[in-house]
């Protein structure tokens, strides 16, 4: 779907840009109540323990600190509970309001329990996303947003002028959920590719 992206440093850089994109920020406002947060790059913060911690990104919700950690995996590996537990300690130690974990493929079951208990929010950003071509999911809310320029190959763009198309991903995910239920399957977790293909069908029908 996207060009192969293996550099975790680039993933962090692109994630910061994506979270500052106006099309994504409206979801941060809707789901996390972050009204006008500006995501900034790596920074070190001093904790009450006397330890200094470096985080991948951060922002302020008015005067409240929000920490962001990125985990880029090249396969379907999910973030484990030890990583989430360590992040939870950092959040408390620097007195942040809460934390956001951004990952390529979600959380393990134990990690999700820790995240829920410690008010750590989850965002999934496709491993090959860039600042121009990205797929972002808010899995707990069954919502996604994707944008691709005409530079992307294989997506049927005819124009030679750079443009961005936003796909009806929420509608696509709901259709997939309804379709699975009609088959007697209670499935709500679909891959980025499945959602995008369904969204493209909706656009073609429209």
Instruction: Please state the pTM of the whole predicted model.
Output: 0.77
**What secondary structure letter does DSSP report for 151?**
T
Reported as a single tens digit per residue, the pLDDT across 20-61 is: 999 899 899 999 999 889 999 999 999 999 999 999 999 999
Residue 127 lies in a domain: yes
Residue 205 lies in a domain: no
- What is the domain range of residue 12? 8-146
Indicate the SS3 state at residue 181.
Answer: helix
Longest dimension (CA), the chain: 59
- Give the integer Cα–Cα distance in Å for 169 and 202: 9
Domain of residue 96, CATH code: 3.40.1350.10
Query: What is the DSSP pairing of strand 64-71 with strand 98-103?
Result: parallel
Residue 183 lies in a domain: no
pLDDT at 4: 64
Low-confidence spans in the chain with pLDDT less than 50: 1, 152-164
Beta-bridge mates of residue 44: 54
Residue 152 lies in a domain: no
Residue 164 lies in a domain: no
pLDDT at 1: 43
Count: domains in the chain: 1
């Amino acid at each position: 779907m996207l060009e192969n992206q293996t550099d975790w440093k680039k993933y962090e850089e692109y994630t910061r840009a994506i979270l500052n994109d106006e099309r994504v920020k409206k979801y941060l406002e809707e789901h996390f109540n972050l009204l006008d947060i500006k995501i900034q790059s790596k920074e070190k913060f001093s904790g009450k323990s006397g330890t200094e911690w470096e985080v991948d990104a951060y922002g302020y919700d008015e005067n409240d600190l929000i920490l962001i950690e990125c985990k880029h995996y090249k396969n379907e590996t999910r973030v484990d509970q030890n990583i989430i537990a360590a992040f939870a300690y950092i959040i408390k130690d620097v007195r942040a309001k809460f934390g956001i974990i951004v990952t390529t493929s979600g959380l393990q079951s134990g990690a999700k329990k820790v995240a829920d208990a410690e008010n750590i929010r989850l965002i999934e950003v496709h491993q090959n996303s860039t600042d121009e071509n990205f797929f972002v999911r808010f899995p707990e809310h069954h919502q996604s947003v994707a944008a691709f320029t005409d530079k992307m190959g294989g997506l049927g763009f005819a124009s030679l002028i750079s443009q961005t198309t936003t796909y009806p991903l929420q509608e696509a995910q709901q259709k997939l959920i309804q379709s699975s239920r009609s088959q007697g399957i209670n499935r709500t977790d679909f891959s980025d590719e499945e959602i995008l293909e369904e969204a493209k069908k909706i656009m073609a029908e429209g």
